[in-house]
Amino acid sequence: MLTRFATDYLDALVTDFRPAPKVSGRLASFDGLLMEAVGLNLPVGTVCQVGGKTDGVEAEVIGFRNGRTLLMNLGGPAALLPHAPVRPIGPPGEAEVGAALLGRVVDGAGRPIDGLGAIRGAGAWPLAGKRQSPLDRGRVLQPLDVGVRAINGLLTIGKGQRIGIMAGSGVGKSVLLGMMVRAARADVIVIGLIGERSREVADFLETKVAGEARAKSVVVAVPANHSPVLRIRGALRATAIAEAFRAEGKDVLLIMDSLTRVAHAGREIGLALGEPASARGYPPSAIAMLPNLIERAGTDVTSGGSITAIYTVLADGDDGNDPVVDSARSILDGHIVLSRTLAERAVYPAIDVSKSVSRVMTDIASPPHLHAARVLRRHLATYEENRDLVLMGAYRAGSDPEIDAAIACHPAVMEFIRQDAASSVTLEDSVTELTGVFGDG
C-alpha cells in the first residue's frame, strides 16, 4: 500500500522541465510614436513591453518593413534607450465582454477607469469581430423610439439600423445624441467616446447616461490625447462588446462619438507607415477601415438580437463632401444632417430635413405616416426654394398655390422640428401630431 502511494505520488510530480524560449527583441529606432524592433516574429496586434516594467512603455505591432517589426506607442513619452528590450505581453485582438461590464467605464485597452476595481467574470470576444454571412443579417422591421419628434416623425429609425449624425463643429451633435440616449428603449447601451475632449466623458456620464440608464450601459472612453492605436482599439472594443450582447439575443444601442476621430487615428497610423496620402490627406487604409467597423452592427437572425448604431460624423469645415462624411453616408442606413444656418436661427435640434434621410423608414412606417412626412418635406422644400423672394417682399400672395401653402405651413413645420433638449416626445405622439397637422395635405 505504501509502495503504491509513493509511486502514484512520484508520478504526479513528474513535470516536463524542458525550458521554453522567451521571445524578445531589441529596439532599433523610435521617433516618439513609431518604433522599429529587430529579432521579433509576432503577429500584427500583439501588445509588447518596450524597456523595463517601471521605465518602459507598451506598444502594439502594426506592421513589418525590411525585416523589422513596426510598433506604435500605446502610452505617453518614455525614457527609452537604443537596443531596449521588446517583449510580447499580450495576445492580439480580444475584448472583455459580458454582464460584468454593465455600469463600468473602461479605456481603449479595456482597463477600468471608474475607480470601481477590477472587472471580474467577463467573457472574451475578438476585437475584430466574428465574420458573418450577409444572410445572417435580418431586415429592419421594428421602429425605435428615440424621443426626438423630428426624427421619430420624419426620419424614423428602426432596430438594427446604422445611422449617422453629420455636422460641423459646435452645431449640436452631442446634445442631439444625449436626447436620443435618454429616451431610447434598449436592453444595453454601449457608448464609445473616441477622440473627444476628456471633459466630455464625465459630462456625458452625469447628464446623458444618468439614473437607470447607467446601470445598463458600458462606456469605452479614449480621449483625443491618447495614442491613435488606442483610439482605434476603443472603437473596436465598443463594437465587440455590443456584438457579444447581441449574440445573447439582446437589443443593443451602440453610440460612437465620433467616427471621424477613428478615421483621423487611422490617418495618423497610415501616414506613419508611409502610405501615400490621397483625398484630404487620408491614406486608403483610413477610409477602408470604416466599412469594416460599420458593417458589424445590425440585426442577427440566429440570436434575434440587434445592434442599433448611431455614429457622429464631423464634417471638417462644414464640408458635406469630406471623404469621411461621403464614405459614411454611402455605407450607413441613413444620415441626419445638422445645419449651422438653422442653429444660427436658434432652431434646435438643427436638423436639415431636406438633406437627411432614413433608408428603412418605408419598411417600418404606416402609409398615413409616410404621406404626412412627404407633405411636410414638400412644404419645407418649397419654402426654402422661395425664401429669398418671400423675405424681400418680391412674392405676391396668390401667385402660386404651392408657395402660399408652404408660407402658411412654415410656422407649423418649424414648430414640429424644434424641441427643448430636456424634453422627450414619444414615437406615438410624434406620429399623431404629424398626421394631425399634415395628414390632409
C-alpha angle with apex 196: 270 to 261, nearest 5 degrees? 25
- Calculate the average pLDDT of the chain: 87
Q: Is the pLDDT of residue 285 over 90?
A: no
At residue 6, the pLDDT reads 58
pLDDT in tens, 58-80: 888 988 888 899 998 887 777 78
For the entire predicted model, the pTM comes to 0.87
CB contact burial 287-319 (16+ within 10 A = b; e otherwise): bebbeebbebbbbbeeeebbbbbbbbbbbeeee
Residue whose cell numbers read 505504501: 2
At residue 172, the pLDDT reads 85
Q: Is the pLDDT of residue 1 over 70?
A: no
Length of the chain (residues): 441
Instruction: Output the nine-digit C-alpha cell for 104.
Output: 463600468
Provide the terminal-to-terminal Cα distance of the chain, rounded to the nearest Å: 98
pLDDT in tens, 213-264: 788 899 999 998 888 888 999 999 999 999 999 999 999 999 998 899 999 9
